[in-house]
């Protein structure tokens, strides 16, 4: 199974880096993990709605260019469907049974994902009703993907 995470912006948090590396190491046993960073646009000091739309459009074009063909695409979106860890694991397993072997997760930057990127996604998922930095979302997502593999393999991590 191939897992792609396309994220806007670079990791700049020293305290999150060791945890990210740990989950990347753990996931090697279950999947081919690829984290793709696309350039983030600089947000103006007092952005108008149009500034945000333009920024999202530029980042969105970069994101869409990186999505592999025939990959099932999950967009992380605060307005997406919330799932339990077991529900997420079940969804991945069901998609695998339907023939999907490649999954792509999209993480927006400071202003989120553009509407046209969200429309291109196969599914919108919300990790929480709370807002997290895109860097924290990477860690939470990696942990949930790892947890899903453990659940689907009946391994004790999730208990």
- Mark the binding-site residues for S-adenosyl-L-methionine, compressed into ranges: 76, 108, 127-132
Task: Give the position of tokens 């998609």.
Answer: 95
Angle made by CA atoms 149, 62, 17, in degrees to the nearest 5: 45
Residue 5 CA to residue 87 CA, distance in Å, equals 20
Q: Which residue in the block uniquely carries the two structure tokens 């994220």?
A: 7
Interatomic CA distance for residues 27 and 145, integer angstroms: 8
User: Minimal CA–CA distance to 158: which of 81, 82, 83, 84?
Assistant: 84
Provide CB contacts within 8 A for 77, sequence distance 6+. Answer: 108, 112, 113, 118, 124, 125, 126
From the annotation, which residues make up the binding site? 76, 108, 127-132
Q: Is the Cα dihedral 88, 89, 90, 95 positive or negative?
A: positive
């Amino acid at each position: 199974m191939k897992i792609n995470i396309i994220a806007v912006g670079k990791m700049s948090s020293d305290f999150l880096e060791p945890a990210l590396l740990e989950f990347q190491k753990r996931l090697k046993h279950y999947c081919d993990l690829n984290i793709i960073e696309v350039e983030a646009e600089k947000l103006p000091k007092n952005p108008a709605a149009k500034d945000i739309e333009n920024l999202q459009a530029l980042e969105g074009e970069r994101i869409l260019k990186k999505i592999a063909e025939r990959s099932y695409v999950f967009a992380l979106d605060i307005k997406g469907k919330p799932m339990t860890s077991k529900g997420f694991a079940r969804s991945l397993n069901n998609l695998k049974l339907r023939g999907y072997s490649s999954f792509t997760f999209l993480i927006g930057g400071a202003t989120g994902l553009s509407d046209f990127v969200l429309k291109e996604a196969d599914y919108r998922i919300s990790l929480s009703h709370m807002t997290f930095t895109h860097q924290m979302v990477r860690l939470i997502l990696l942990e949930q993907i790892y947890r899903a593999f453990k659940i689907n393999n009946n391994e004790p991590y999730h208990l």
